[in-house]
Amino acid sequence: MGLDEEVYGTVRSNILSTEPLPNLNRVYAMVVQQERVRTMTRTREERGNPMSFAVQAGGRNSGGGKDKTVVCSNCDREGHDADSCFQLIGYPEWWGNRSRATTTGRGSGQKRGTGGGRNKAGIVRANATQASGTDGGRSVVTDSDRKGLSGLNDEQWGYDRNSRKLIGAGERREGLYFLKGVASAHTCKMKGVASFELWHMRMGHPSSKVVELIPEVNDLGAVLIENRGVNWSNDVENLENDFDEQPAHSTEREGEVNRDVEEIIATDVNASVGNELEENVIQEESLGRGQRVKQPSVRLREYVTNSIQVYPPACSLLQSNSSGTPYPIANYVNYDKFSSHHRSFLATVTAGHEPSTYAEVSRVQTTPFNDQKPGTSGLRKKVKIFKQPNYLENFVQSTFNALSANKVRGATLVVSGDGRYFSKDAIQIIIKMAAANGVRRVWVGQNGLLSTPAVSAVIRERIGSDGSKASGAFILTASHNPGGPNEDFGIKYNMENGGPAPEAITDKIYENTKTIKEYLIAEDLPNVDISVIGKTSFAGPEGQFEIDVFDSASDYVKLMKSIFDFQSIQKLLSSPKFTFCYDALHGVAGAYAKRIFVEELGAKESSLLNCVPKEDFGGGHPDPNLTYAKELVARMGLGKSNSQDEPPEFGAAADGDADRNMILGKRFFGVARSMPTSAALDVVAKHLNLKFFEVPTGWKFFGNLMDAGLCSVCGEESFGTGSDHIREKDGIWAVLAWLSILAYKNKENLSGEKLVSVEEIVRQHWATYGRHYYTRYDYENVDAGAAKELMAYLVKLQSSLSEVNKIIKGICSDVSNVANADEFEYKDPVDGSISKHQGIRYLFEDGSRLVFRLSGTGSEGATIRLYIEQYEKDPSKTGRDSQEALASLVEVALKLSKMQEFTGRTAPTVIT
């Protein structure tokens, strides 16, 4: 995570154990809060290298402060050595006309000044000192600390017990600031050691209340310098003995401007800092409060002069809250190892304004993942898989690399999805990668929401204000799979016709994922607020880049109104005899349900169930079938317990991305599903003399047929139906289609006693074409090896149909014989492409069939789907219960395939 384990182990563990994982803003807040807690609650044993300033006067101390064990080798006097002997280095100005003969120094009995006198001061040396370790609550001074500062005993070293705020010199190296050892510098030579102005300047211009605490100024018992991180504590003993005692001049008043500055001497910083400070002369200036011109120190222009808190070496420095130049966190923390979205976050939070440009495109080194083969509807994995560093980025870059240059550079892309968990993060990543790959503009549905059919509609129908049209889309969805931090996420690419990428493209994407070495991303492009409709433009190295956040429903509603007679449907919904119920299962369909059914068609808002899109679909499974749409099933009178309330005449449900549907009549299960792979469509097409095409599962196979004008209405297993208005299956279209049928059947009957119902329409269909009893058994998260062994066994079994029929008769004698068996292979009539291994079929003499197929929509393991269809054309038998009619064929399917032996499952995960 980029956090040091030793220092941030606790907060790092808290972040990783939070469910769901917090967003970046929350993580940053948690780290900052931890820093504040460490500062306030750190024990004495945990204090790391507190720094302070000690002051040593080069002039005379009061007698009590002399070290009489030191004897000068030049003058033989006690209290100083030859290095500080005035006979050798010269007498200071304050010595005046006093005798310069070899006599004892000033006695300790001389009275100390109490006023703000203007006496001459000696050279004062201010040193940033460093202490380490603890000793009974006090800092222990080491020999390295004494370097460059002699003459102080342990009691004369000051440190701040309370705030531990510090002032020190730091050297900038590779973007980081390092505090360096003990910094020593001569400060100034001035008149008046007890002058208010002198100490006001020495201390960095604090308030007068602070200066008054100095004994030489106000004769208080302690020295407290509290400004930008330095305190002289009351615990510092005998510190006043280091300052010269001079007679006071009572005529001096506090606050008077000192104009007797003789010179300012800039000297070296201690060798431990490693850099020399230039010698400078500061011009005389007014030092009164509010009059001084504030300029940064030229002597420290290469160093941090803000307040700095020093932590143990393993700790990183965070920005101080004190006044001064706000240094970005990047100057303190090296985040080269962070993931791209962490780096992007840091770049964003340290910016002082909203940027209108992004500076560069980053080429991020990466390594391939071996599990990024797109399935029937793109790549679907658990969220934790997608959140691995570079996992999503690898797949997106592989997709860009699989497309022709004119579909990327200067192009317009749509990026949105069903709003499931991780979608918002993924959208920001894809936007940055699109910018880096030269995309001109990205269209995003408000809040990142667009149903899969709406994405197709936007690609085909939407025209930008500048005449632009989308050339493709990244759709973030796992369809009917559950969502949440521990559930599924998915991504797929749709082409310029609005349909899913064909196998030629998905195969190329997969090949790219196996060899990818780098991806492109504009890391310093800030995150875009996708909750607000509007355009945001940036200038970058790849040219102008624009993000357009638009209303999610407008284009789709406009398309639906061009297909269906909304006025007729509105009349039906307004009839007191017709009641309606729609369940979005907390998927993206909820964003369209209110707009279409309530606002456009006049249905009551109470007719909508679970129509607020949620990242985890309300904790449910957004698959519109009798198992997971329990609330709708119960309301429609199809539950195990019969409700006393009269069920609605019509009910429908949608899956997570609103491309699938389930249609229900009052106490009746409808038929808007599974038509292309069901023999029911064969019978109707033959009766009406229509062209008929049987394609593999996967909506992408319909695209070429529709583009060539060979197909206008289509559907697939698992509740998918649609038309050529878009190139995706469309759950809301299916609902409107059924409402249109009901409106047509009842157009002359709205004022009658009874309306024509869904059940009556379906029974009329059975009377004409016969009934295809149909069920699907799903075995989810099966061991992939076991699933492949089962499929291989079923293929091998097809080599001898006589043996197959012998096995079947031994299971159930009244089941018809198998007439044909194969592994379905599809040749596209438009482009001639061939798709193999699309399912294993056993076709019976009476029109019944068994189909075994490995699904590509699961996120982990393998999903085996078993389709069981029993055809019945005897009108006297079309009203039987489905489970009763299919019982014999179900038994044959399970025993013939040895399902339990191969999978270890005694029952399917879901029965539809």
Cα(458)–Cα(414) distance, rounded to whole angstroms?
Answer: 8
Closest CA to 52 of 236, 222, 209, 190: 236
**Distance (Å, whole) CA 699 – CA 494:** 11
Cα separation of the two ends of the chain = 44
Q: Please, what is the Cα angle at 791 between 787 and 795, to 5 degrees?
A: 170
- Output the six-digit token pair for 330: 């990047």
- The answer to whether 816 is a known catalytic residue is no
Instruction: Report the alpha-carbon distance of residue 748 to residue 571 in Å, rounded.
Output: 11
Length of the chain: 912
Please, are residues 608 and 593 in contact by the beta-carbon 8 Å criterion?
yes
Cα angle vertex 496, ends 364, 436, to 5°? 20
- The residue assigned the tokens 């399970």 is 894
What Cα–Cα distance (Å) separates residue 404 from each residue in 192, 440, 495, 504, 505? Answer: 80, 15, 11, 13, 10
DSSP symbol at 780: E
Read off the tokens for 388. 């691995």
Percent helix / strand / coil, the chain, rounded to 5: 30, 20, 50
Q: Of 62, 423, 471, 479, which one is the catalytic site residue?
A: 479
The answer for residues whose C-beta is within 8 angstroms of residue 832's C-beta and 6 or more apart is: none
Quote the CA–CA distance of 747 and 724 in Å, as a whole number: 26
Token couple for 66: 């002399």
* Whole-angstrom distance, CA of residue 64 vs CA of residue 300: 36
Transcribe 720-772 into DSSP letters.
EEEETTSSS--HHHHHHHHHHHHHHHTTTTTTSSSPPPHHHHHHHHHHHH-EE
Nearest by Cα to 361 from 427, 415, 438: 438
Q: Which residues are catalytic?
A: 479
